[in-house]
Structure 1
Amino acid sequence: MLDKFKEAKQLELDSLRKDFVEGRIPGVYQGERPSFVEAIKAKGPGAIIAEFKPASPSKGVLRENANPLDFADDYAKNGAAAISVLTEHKYFGGHPDYLFMMSQAGVPLLRKDFIFDPLQVAMTASSPASAVLLIARMCDDVKHLQQLIGIARMPGLAPVVEIFDQADLDMAREAGADIIQVNNRDLDTLETTLDQARNFIKQKKDGELWICASGVNERSEVEEMAGLGFDAILVGTSLMQAENPGEKLAELTGAK
């Protein structure tokens, strides 16, 4: 599955490299970049990272004509600590411009895409994103991941390293990651189980910030994950499919 996603990014990478060679990579974003980590700590444990993704590989189109501006406002008003913004187009219906559109809500943004090249991190730094997702197993080795983490931190981006198994966690820590995102989805079957999060959280160390991603749909599950030690829970599909996303978010945060 990840190989398929990596392949889909090739045209974008070829374009970025051409731009780089010809001196057209934009500079670092000069506007406000609210702290992703502080926002989660302020509302955690169990802070909600509300995701905007018009589609997904497992479920297809989640919401027709989804307006990122409306979602950003709804998420900000209903207690999201941060917003995860899908920028991958082919499988998730996203676009990098959504980062600029959704930044108006004033909530820290996590850029979620298949990022494995330094130029992709540099492009993220030219946007209002506060954090960038790095998937451990999309990197060739520890040095590769370490390089991406370092490039992200230079302009003030928080590198969120996603893991699926023990080898990923070991690699993330060796590379210097301090924000760990546990993905509960099986990449082969696309099924989710919270047992993944329940097992991995036992290894959380002092000084680390942990995020539970995929498979959380109800307030009771948010409370369980928070009780186990997760600082934040990333929720996407159930919000995108809700009749009223703002109300669903308020329910998940416990405000309703």
Structure 2
Amino acid sequence: MNILDKIAARKREEVEILKEEVPVETLQMLPHFKRKCFSLKENLKKSKTGIISEFKRRSPSHPEINLGADVAEVTKAYEAAGACGISVLTDEDFFGGSLDDLAVARETVKLPLLRKDFIIDEYQLIEAKAMGADVILLIAAMLKPKQVEQFSKKAKALGLEVLLEVHNEEELKNNIFDTIDMIGVNNRNLKTFEVNLQTSKDLAEKIPGQYVKISESGISDTTAILELQKSGFQGFLIGGNFMKTEDPGKSASEFINELKSRSK
């Protein structure tokens, strides 16, 4: 059983409990449920940097990234730094996040927010909208194509944008749907945790042109982004590289400013 299998099993248990504790009808009454979402896709299309800064405290491969980080402080600083959007980890067991983190971020910033979690049930989409997300993540390695199609349709009906995450050509080919907005290539091998940016470069030309391309994981310098931009990538999800520092917002600001100066 790999890490995704473990996460999926735990997530199924978690969602069943939540459905009992917080029914869909309750979520639909929350103020953000009727809010018009901000567009990450459009932000990335018009940006020269395309940085999506991520808030996370830990991960299975790095159990202590920044356990004491304050979500309001960090997300506010990310916005000031010039990020196009912010990814917020809401998985508690494996990443130390929570839906409260998403809610606080929504009250703090006006940027598009990606709910970074492991979606295995439509309930989580309603939950994401109700708590202030603008974008949801669907991980091809965890879902069957029929589920990707089903969940992406439901997300669009709720007004959410959809980021599909793939790791290889097979996952990409099996999940091309009109209800996907952005395709993210995860450079991390989820079985070995090894990271290789070549994964993004190899898949770039195989991603149809209507999708905004995002490269995820293992991006630690501006040279990597300049190279990935040549392959057509417009978005770059960066978490650990910022969060592992004492001041993630300052780290993001310095990174984005360097990228801007090199992009001229």
Q: Which bin holds the TM-score, normalised by the shorter protein?
A: over 0.9
Matched residue, 1:111: 115
Partner Cα distance (1:54, 1:22) in 2 = 28
Q: Does 1:35 align with 2:35?
A: no
**Letter in structure 1 aligned against 2:11:** K
Gap change, CA 1:235 and 1:155, over 3 Å in 2:
same
Displacement of 1:174: 4.6
Whether the 8 Å CA contact 1:222–1:252 is kept in 2: the answer is no
Matched residue, 2:10: 8
Secondary structure of the residue aligned to 1:61 is coil
Partner Cα distance (1:199, 1:22) in 2 = 41
Matched residue, 1:84: 87
Q: Return 92-101 or 241-250, whichever deviates more.
A: 241-250
Matched residue, 2:138: 134
Partner Cα distance (1:198, 1:39) in 2 = 22
Partner Cα distance (1:62, 1:25) in 2 = 31
Matched residue, 2:211: 208
Matched residue, 1:98: 101
- Please, which runs of 5 or more residues in structure 2 have no aligned partner? none
* Cα-to-partner distance string for 1:59-101 (whole Å, 9 max, x where unaligned): 1110131100011111000010000000000111000111111
Structure 1 stretches of 4+ moved >3 Å? 19-28
* Alignment length (residue pairs): 254
Q: Return 52-61 or 3-12, whichever deviates more.
A: 3-12
Whether the 8 Å CA contact 2:172–2:207 is kept in 1: the answer is no
Secondary structure of the residue aligned to 2:98 is coil
Displacement of 1:134: 0.6
Q: TM-score, normalised by structure 2?
A: 0.90
* Cα-to-partner distance string for 1:198-250 (whole Å, 9 max, x where unaligned): 10112132211111000001111111112221010000001001233223212
2:225 to 211, 222, 226: 222
Partner Cα distance (2:24, 2:232) in 1 = 47
Gap change, CA 1:61 and 1:74, over 3 Å in 2:
same
Gap change, CA 1:175 and 1:39, over 3 Å in 2:
closer
**Letter in structure 2 aligned against 1:118:** E
Partner Cα distance (2:82, 2:159) in 1 = 24
Note the 1:52-63 alignment, pairs <5 A: 52-63=55-66
Matched residue, 1:122: 126
Q: TM-score, normalised by structure 1?
A: 0.93
Note the 1:142-153 alignment, pairs <5 A: 142-153=145-156
Identity value in percent: 30
Matched residue, 2:52: 49
